Structure 1
């Protein structure tokens, strides 16, 4: 496979550009690409640019070969509203959600979230998750990088309002994904933390007109539920 890289600035379609230091290090030192190897660059604004790697001393350049209007985005606008999960679970969730075509991720602080983030620590973690989203786009072929929003409290998120449907996953809910109509606007998927949503959080979701949805008779882990729902929705109405 031809190596793909996210370029942090708007890309010209032709000519030659110098690769940023981190990108150059990854290409030449980690992947061990050589002079003349093909590569693909994308800047997150749609499409991709083919190129050839050029090495000059410690610097790396790409000789660009034209823009290709390739889109691999899902026809569904799916937003994962994920309660903070502990350890490296959030890394896993964001990586796989991007691979499954999510349009954005909204991390929320829930009452039972083991992980607690605020201030500078939250900002650093968000930047880390954004880099995971970029890497997942490089791997999966996506040319538009999903947004990873700053951490918000659940009620803060609910107060923003939303034109499209918001689904809150609850093992005892009566609705099933297959019984819902195909979304016209962006659909938000609310996934609870390891201990599940608290009763007052579920009540707040109902007050905000969220639709309670179950994912079968089994209780899924927080790192499984959102990804299973994304895959199911892609099968129902997306590009699976």
Structure 2
């Protein structure tokens, strides 16, 4: 049986006795129904993992004791910052989950002219907490030991204007350049993915003015969530650690 991977929000140390967080304890004690003597693998975002023995367990509280921590670096050499315009329903959650599995380091949710999602500040705050939990769960599942940053929602204009030394790419169905034509080496990418209705002409012009290069994925028009994952995969194959 695979040893469950569990994120711990505080710094871990070797030979440490500690209580799991409420969410982790619920998952280990109530969902997995693990008992004293069984083991879990803890990580705290430091790129280290700690094998831990369960020493006390109930449905509400789980206490463990860690062994010696080990460095376990599974991060891609390619640093990807995804700027994703908000998408409807579960599509945004899907994009966040899968892009993290594919190795994205930072995600900034964006609001654009044609963004179909309208949320007030309170609901945006709740969404951000939900997205952060999705990021943690994705890392637990895929084996990453650093938690990618989910930044607060901002406007596309604000995000485009942020200073960055990364290669800036905008996926556009009428672009003439493909990812395969990008010049090696590339270690940092700032990737813009528009909404379901696409970016407006003014936004495309603004992206170009802010030094974003239009990139074409292929002859077919993809949905926004498909576009993000396809582009990330193509970038990781060419410049990262896939394939």
Number of the residue aligned with 1:66:
68
Number of the residue aligned with 2:26:
25
Q: Is the 8 A contact 2:186 2:239 kept in 1?
A: no
Task: Quote the RMSD (CA, aligned, Å).
Answer: 1.2
Q: Is the 8 A contact 1:86 1:114 kept in 2?
A: yes
Q: Deviations over 1:85-134 (max 9, x none)?
A: 00010000000000000001011101111112341211111111011000
Number of the residue aligned with 2:80:
78
Match of 2:202 among 195, 200, 203: 200
Aligned residue-pair number: 240
Q: Is the 8 A contact 2:29 2:57 kept in 1?
A: no
Q: Secondary structure at the match of 2:67?
A: strand
Q: Deviations over 1:128-181 (max 9, x none)?
A: 101100000000010000000111111011111211111000000111000002
State how far apart, in whole Å, the 2-side matches of 1:209 and 1:94 are: 25
State how far apart, in whole Å, the 1-side matches of 2:27 and 2:136 are: 14
Residues 1:212 and 2:214 are matched in the alignment: yes
Match of 1:111 among 110, 113, 121: 113
- Normalising by structure 1, report the TM-score: 0.96
State how far apart, in whole Å, the 2-side matches of 1:53 and 1:170 are: 51
State how far apart, in whole Å, the 1-side matches of 2:193 and 2:185 are: 18
State how far apart, in whole Å, the 2-side matches of 1:14 and 1:226 are: 41
Which stretch of structure 1 is more off in the superposition, 134-143 or 49-58?
49-58
Q: Is the 8 A contact 2:34 2:57 kept in 1?
A: no
Which stretch of structure 1 is more off in the superposition, 6-15 or 54-63?
54-63
- Normalising by structure 2, report the TM-score: 0.95
User: Structure 1: any 5+ residue segments left out of the alignment?
Assistant: none
Number of the residue aligned with 2:46:
45
Give, in angstroms, the shift of residue 69 of structure 1.
Answer: 0.4
State how far apart, in whole Å, the 1-side matches of 2:110 and 2:57 are: 46
User: Structure 2: any 5+ residue segments left out of the alignment?
Assistant: none
